[in-house]
């Protein structure tokens, strides 16, 4: 009888990273970290870039599991998940529907609203709409963002009427529809989540303190001025409420595996859900590994736990 080792337990594993989205550069870094961690632990893991190879190579080459370290479109939006379901290869993270809904910030907010979860007021705007009236309805400042991108790509904070058009044009480079959202003044928080269903657990809350309050692409991935406070310096009751809301948001979308919920905490210590990332970053700057370290879980242990949860979601409901 073969010994139970990571190689025998998981079989041949593909780490999917790179891809074709605007977040390719970050995905390459995330996937490189995941691949190195799996190899260190004796897993038979190999790099696989869907932008450079057809997905059916996974089946032809005998891969038995897939660790999805793709970000954004064609990786976090249900497309790759659907391909893996068709190929019969168990994969990490959320399924097709949860991935697709979570990738669309508008649909995500609609689901949360139906569940009575707190999220800022919002509108969907398209080319030809009267943009000048947005501040009258949502107040100033407000946020404009493309609903299907991540990593703060195409996001603008609008402080005055004269800035609305340029902010819309920036977001519209990435999406036909643009999400206009009420700005919540307060503290920026994020919560890493692991598991599925009733077994979902929230890791310690992280507070993000960016230079000038501007947590943009540069400050998120490449700068060293942003401060991450983990655990966030919050009263116990407030931290517990933030974690509770994050778990409810995750479960409302039927997420699983791992994810990261982003929130604002207003001046009255009320949490407001902004979005949820179903394939969050795993780089050296990333927040899920940081939260795991706060509870004594190493990067390698985190990666192995996520891989252990890989499964086919459609087949499991048959």
Tell whether 1 is covered by a domain: no
The strand pairing partners of 202, in sequence order, are 193
CATH number for the domain spanning 222: value is 3.30.470.20
Backbone angles phi, psi at 60, to 5 degrees: -60, -30
Whole-angstrom distance, CA of residue 66 vs CA of residue 15: 6
Count of domains forming the chain? 3
Averaged pLDDT for residues 173-194:
96
DSSP code of residue 232: -
Q: Which residue, of 143, 159, 182, is where some domain finishes?
A: 182
Whole-angstrom distance, CA of residue 110 vs CA of residue 90: 29
Q: Which residue, of 132, 159, 182, is where some domain finishes?
A: 182
Residue 221 in this model has a pLDDT that exceeds 70: no
Tokens of 148: 């299907």
Residue 302 in this model has a pLDDT that exceeds 70: yes
Task: Please check whether residues 27 and 86 belong to one and the same domain.
Answer: yes
CATH number for the domain spanning 31: value is 3.40.50.20
Residue 220 in this model has a pLDDT that exceeds 80: no
Q: How far is CA 4 from the centre of its chain?
A: 32
Greatest Cα pair distance in the chain: 71
Active site residues: 23, 151, 221, 260, 262, 275, 277, 281
The CA-CA-CA angle for residues 24, 304, 33, to 5°, reads 35
Residue 318 in this model has a pLDDT that exceeds 70: no
Comparing 90-104, 226-240, 280-294, which segment has the lowest mean pLDDT? 280-294
Task: Please check whether residues 217 and 164 belong to one and the same domain.
Answer: no
Task: Please check whether residues 69 and 111 belong to one and the same domain.
Answer: no
Averaged pLDDT for residues 266-280:
97
Task: Please check whether residues 289 and 234 belong to one and the same domain.
Answer: yes
The domain of 12 spans: 6-93+310-316
CATH number for the domain spanning 174: value is 3.30.1490.20
Q: How far is CA 115 from the centre of its chain?
A: 20
Is the pTM higher than 0.85? The answer reads yes
The answer to whether 46 touches 12, Cβ cutoff 8 Å, is yes
């Amino acid at each position: 009888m073969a010994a139970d080792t990571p190689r025998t337990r998981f079989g041949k594993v593909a780490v999917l990273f790179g891809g074709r989205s605007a977040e390719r550069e970050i995905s390459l870094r995330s996937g490189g970290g995941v691949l190195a961690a799996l190899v260190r632990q004796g897993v038979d893991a190999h790099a696989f870039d869907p932008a450079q190879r057809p997905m059916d190579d996974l089946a032809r080459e005998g891969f038995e599991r897939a660790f999805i370290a793709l970000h954004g479109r064609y990786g976090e939006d249900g497309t790759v998940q659907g391909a893996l379901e068709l190929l019969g290869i168990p994969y990490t993270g959320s399924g097709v529907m949860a991935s697709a809904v979570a990738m669309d910030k508008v649909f995500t907010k609609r689901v949360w609203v139906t569940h009575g979860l707190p999220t800022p007021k919002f509108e969907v705007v398209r080319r030809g709409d009267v943009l000048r009236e947005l501040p009258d309805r949502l107040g100033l400042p407000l946020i404009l963002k493309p609903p299907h991108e991540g990593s703060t790509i195409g996001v603008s904070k609008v402080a005055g009427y004269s800035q609305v058009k340029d902010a819309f044009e920036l977001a519209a480079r990435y999406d036909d529809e643009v999400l206009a959202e009420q700005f919540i003044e307060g503290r920026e928080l994020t919560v890493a989540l692991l598991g599925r269903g009733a077994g979902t657990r929230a890791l310690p809350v992280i507070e993000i303190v960016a230079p000038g309050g501007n947590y943009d692409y540069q400050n998120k991935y490449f700068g060293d001025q942003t401060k991450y406070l983990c655990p966030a310096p919050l009263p116990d009751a407030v931290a517990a409420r933030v974690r509770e809301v994050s778990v409810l948001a995750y479960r409302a979308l039927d997420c699983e595996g791992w994810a990261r919920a982003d929130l604002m905490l207003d001046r009255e210590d009320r949490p407001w859900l902004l979005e949820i990332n179903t394939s969050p970053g795993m780089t050296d700057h990333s927040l899920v590994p940081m939260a795991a370290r706060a509870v004594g879980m190493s990067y390698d242990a985190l990666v192995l736990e996520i891989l252990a949860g890989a499964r086919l979601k459609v087949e499991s409901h048959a």
